Amino acid sequence: MLVGAVMLFVGILIGYLGHGSTAPGNQANQPKPATLMDPIVSQTRHFKGDPKAPVTMVEFSDFQCPYCGRFALTTIPEIENAYVKKGLVRLGYQHFIFLGEESQWAAEASECAADQQNFWPYHDRLVKRLAAENQRDFSKETLKAFAAELKLEPKAFASCLDSGKYASLVQGETTRAQAVGVSSTPTFLINGVPLVGAQPFSVFQKALEQAAKPGS
């Protein structure tokens, strides 16, 4: 896991340096993790929390990943109560699809829900399906049923999902994540510093508080 985190950071660094902003051999001029976070944040569509929060944490996740679901049900609420609601941390979400066709459909469905300003409620419904109901059925019929539960406009949602409107967006997020070294879910970037795996709250607490320190 430590090796994965190091490789992720190196991947982000290489991706950043590949834009020609810094000479690889000049250690003194290499960007700080917070600077490396900027392109990730700019490509993240969904956030919770104050945009001016001193710490931004972006999750790379697959809706069929059981560890992601368990983390979302247990640890995320603790992070939200301790940090997000107090304006200290902003949470972001990006897709990292690797568990097959239904993972792709679920991610696309969440973006269709976002068209109706319901990304997070739909995200939570998908998490509940896997982590609480212990079912990994993300067929298009099931995804449309979830939209109905949330009282989304059914025809618009179905048209969006069936047309594959967000297929390339989801695939693009996954490809970009792979390019910077993400290889498993859940993976997190906290002000540019990687944290890999569904770690307990105490681990995130330490990482978030370290990120909030001046100069980190």
DSSP string, 141-193: HHHHHHHHHTT--HHHHHHHHHHTTTHHHHHHHHHHHHHTT--SSSEEEETTE
What are the tens digits of pLDDT across the range 145-183? 999 999 999 999 999 999 999 999 999 999 999 888 888
pLDDT at residue number 37: 80
DSSP 131: I
List the one residue out of 61, 95, 59 whose CA is nearest residue 173: 95
Q: What are phi and psi of 149, to 5 degrees?
A: -55, -40
Residue 33's pLDDT band (cuts 50, 70, 90): low
pLDDT at residue number 147: 97
The residues, any chain, with a CB within 8 Å of residue 130's CB and separated by 6 or more, are 63, 64, 66, 69, 136
Q: Give all domains of the chain, ordered by start, each with its CATH number.
A: 56-211 (3.40.30.10)
pLDDT at residue number 27: 39
pLDDT at residue number 181: 86
CA distance 207 to 83: 12
8 within 8 A of 181, measured Cβ to Cβ: yes
CA distance 75 to 207: 14
Measured CA distances, 168 to 8, 97, 104, 108, 199 (Å) = 23, 12, 10, 9, 30
pLDDT at residue number 125: 94
> What is the arrangement of strands in the sheet containing 55-61, beginning at the earlier edge strand?
46-48, 89-95, 55-61, 187-190, 193-196
What are the tens digits of pLDDT across the range 40-88? 899 999 999 999 999 999 999 999 999 999 899 999 999 999 999 999 9
Q: Per-residue pLDDT averaged across 136-150, rounded?
A: 94
Cα angle value 43/12/111 (rounded, 5°) = 25
Average per-residue pLDDT for the chain: 85
